[in-house]
Amino acid sequence: MSSLVSHWSIPVAELLRHPGTRREVDLSGDLGDIRVTASRVRPAVEIQVGGTIKSLDNVTVEFRGTVRAPWDGECRRCLGPAEGDLTVDVHELFERAPESEDIYPLLADRLDLEPLARDALYLELPQAPLCKADCQGLCPECGADRNTVDCGHAVDELDPRWDALRELGEKN
Ligand SMILES: [Zn+2]
Ligand SMILES: [Zn+2]
């Protein structure tokens, strides 16, 4: 742990003294590696967090804003590279002594945006990314990348395995 206070950590004592007051924040920086099975936000990329901190009473503040980051991963159909940008809308509460796990703690009257940003990205990273919406995937017969090669094998539209893949793809 560094002895320096993270720049993601915002002092809110003054806001807590005056319920209803606000502070705008616009921060950027990297947050280390954030990954799910098939996609990740890489350690050195710039993550942006912007929004408004507002005190609701003497112990609670809310943050409303957005978390933005580029991601990359592996296309679930062709296994080639996939990438995109995540924009996650967030609305979270912070309290001095939260009794619910849904509320983030305020430590020493500072609101730390780092765990909020990390959680938001982690939840929204695509679990089944595609390199493009109409990726043709790999030929189930010979493994050729059907985006670039016409291997001549017919696509069996009735193969139930492809129905399952299509359903998964449509959920993205
Ligand atoms: Zn693909
Ligand atoms: Zn083939």
Each domain of the chain, given as residue ranges in start order, spans 9-133, 136-172
pLDDT at residue 1 in the model: 47
Q: What is the pTM of this model?
A: 0.82
Q: Cα of 142 to ligand 2 centre, how many Å?
A: 4
Instruction: In whole angstroms, give the CA distance from residue 62 to residue 149.
Output: 52
In the chain the beta strands, taken as DSSP E runs, fall at 9-11, 22-29, 34-35, 39-41, 47-55, 60-74, 81-95, 104-105, 110-112
Question: Residues of 4-30 as b/e, b for ≥16 C-beta within 10 angstroms?
Answer: eeeebebebeebbeeeeeebeeebeee
Q: Cα of 171 to ligand 1 centre, how many Å?
A: 16
Instruction: In whole angstroms, give the CA distance from residue 71 to residue 128.
Output: 13
Q: Which two tokens stand for residue 143?
A: 């493994």
First and final C-alpha spacing in the chain? 38
Q: Cα of 144 to ligand 1 centre, how many Å?
A: 12
pLDDT at residue 163 in the model: 55
* Cα atoms in the 13 Å half-sphere on the side-chain side of 169: 18
**Most distant CA pair in the chain, distance:** 71
Q: What is the pLDDT of residues 55-114, one digit of tens each?
A: 999 999 999 999 999 999 999 999 999 999 999 999 999 999 999 999 999 999 999 999
Environment of ion ligand 1 (residues, CB < 5 A):
75, 77-78, 80, 131, 135
On whether the CB atoms of residues 116 and 105 are closer than 8 A, the answer is no
Q: Are strands 34-35 and 104-105 parallel, antiparallel or unpaired?
A: unpaired
Beta bridge partners of 134: none
Beta bridge partners of 94: 61, 104
pLDDT at residue 169 in the model: 58
pLDDT at residue 5 in the model: 72
Torsion of CA 85, 89, 93, 99, to 10 degrees: -70
pLDDT surpasses 90 at 154: no
pLDDT at residue 6 in the model: 84
Q: Cα of 141 to ligand 2 centre, how many Å?
A: 5
